[in-house]
Amino acid sequence: MKTRRSHPAWSYFLAFFALTAFVITASMLLFLKYFARSAGVEFTRENLFSAAPVTFGNAVFLALICTGVDVLRRKLMVDRPVRAIVEAARKITGGDFTARISPRAAVGASEGFEEIIDCFNTMAAEFAGVETLRTDFIANVSHELKTPMAVMQNYGTLLQSPELSDDKRLEYAKAITEQSRRLADLITNILKLNRLENQQIYPAAKRFDLGEQLAECLLRFEDTWEKKNIDIETDLEEEVIVQSDDELLSLVWNNLFSNALKFTEPGGTVSVTMKAQGDFVTVRVTDTGCGISPEAGKHIFEKFYQGDTSHATQGNGLGLALVRRVVDIVGGEISVESEIGKGSTFTVKIRRAADGDIQKNP
């Protein structure tokens, strides 16, 4: 970073001297001419020469005072804030995102610096937040990638044993397939979330029946609920039309249904309700699973957050982050209500399509 080159004090002195000398000399000439005329005294060159040393001395004296005042003003109101901003900027560029600039109680020229300092501190706080998210994201991604890879490596080593029975070989091969699928899902979700957060996916709105979409998404998990003997209860209002991106919304329902079935014990119940209320439609997905603690509920939509570590191997902590981002993009709202041991209810609220809405082509 280039340092700011300050002007020497004598340059300010010369500038003020030239200005004040001109102003004072002109003023004195006008004053002497007026005084001589009013007093009936002839204004001669000798009068001017006699007054010149006094005028020059006054100009020098006033220039020195102005120079001193200006140098002091610059030291207090300009140089100090600039030095503080430069030092904090150097810390930021060096990776120290805790750097902040203390507000300065000053008036005059430094009032503009107060706005700069406020903006700088806000920017530094944003940088610190982004850096924390980046560090956590890298750490979590590394952990999530390492776990299935370690499992696949271990089972791959076991498969090399010549004495391994066919049943064990099949079991280990299935475990490797499951972990590779989990790894593929993780990478897919990371790419989707990255595209969503970088606004590389734009919603293509069109009119469709939300109840039909919910039913279609739920039927995709029929094998899952039959294997776990989970009761499915539905209460979907008919002919509820929305105008939104159907592919993005299907991502929301698939993640919510998958989580509800995943965390519900065999013999439990998962219910899906949809009710139209004025200009909005509310979808609720309720399960009788393990539930979420109030503390976990505050972070459940954060990337890689998994409130129930006993089920950590069943997900990668990105599903609900994707859901939250999609709901935000389509202009909806999502919330969760839960109680440990009694299950959870996820509520999604989106706007219905008005009668005059025109379908947009994707």
Q: Is residue 197 in a domain?
A: no
Q: Is residue 169 in a domain?
A: no
Global pTM value:
0.52
| Contact of 28 with 49, CB cutoff 8 Å | no
Domain that holds residue 19: 9-127
Averages of pLDDT over each 10 residues, the chain, 362 residues: 52 66 67 61 59 65 73 74 84 82 60 77 80 65 72 87 86 86 74 64 80 91 90 91 86 87 90 91 92 70 52 52 81 88 90 62 39
Q: Is residue 91 in a domain?
A: yes
Q: State residue 4's pLDDT score.
A: 47
Q: State residue 358's pLDDT score.
A: 42
- End position of a domain, from candidates 98, 127, 156: 127
Domain count, the chain: 2
Residues 340 and 228 in one domain: yes
- Pick from 147, 154, 76: nearest CA to 108: 76
CA-CA-CA-CA torsion sign (319, 320, 323, 324): negative
Q: State residue 146's pLDDT score.
A: 75
**CATH no. for residue 270?**
3.30.565.10
Residues 110 and 233 in one domain: no
Q: Is residue 328 in a domain?
A: yes
Cα 116 to Cα 103, 122, 123: the distances in Å are 10, 10, 10
Q: Is residue 15 in a domain?
A: yes
Q: Which two tokens stand for residue 45?
A: 């060159």
Cα 202 to Cα 136, 195, 248, 256, 330: the distances in Å are 27, 10, 10, 22, 9
Q: State residue 61's pLDDT score.
A: 73
The burial class, CB within 10 Å (0-12 / 13-18 / 19+), for 222 is exposed
Q: 3-state class of 346 per DSSP?
A: strand
Q: State residue 284's pLDDT score.
A: 95
- End position of a domain, from candidates 70, 95, 127: 127
Q: 3-state class of 343 per DSSP?
A: strand
- Pick from 271, 278, 276, 307: nearest CA to 291: 307
If one counts every other C-beta atom within 10 angstroms of the C-beta of residue 173, the result is 13
Cα–Cα distance measured from residue 210 to residue 122, given in angstroms and rounded to the nearest whole number: 42
- End position of a domain, from candidates 94, 127, 160: 127
Q: Is residue 16 in a domain?
A: yes
Q: Is residue 170 in a domain?
A: no
Q: State residue 116's pLDDT score.
A: 81
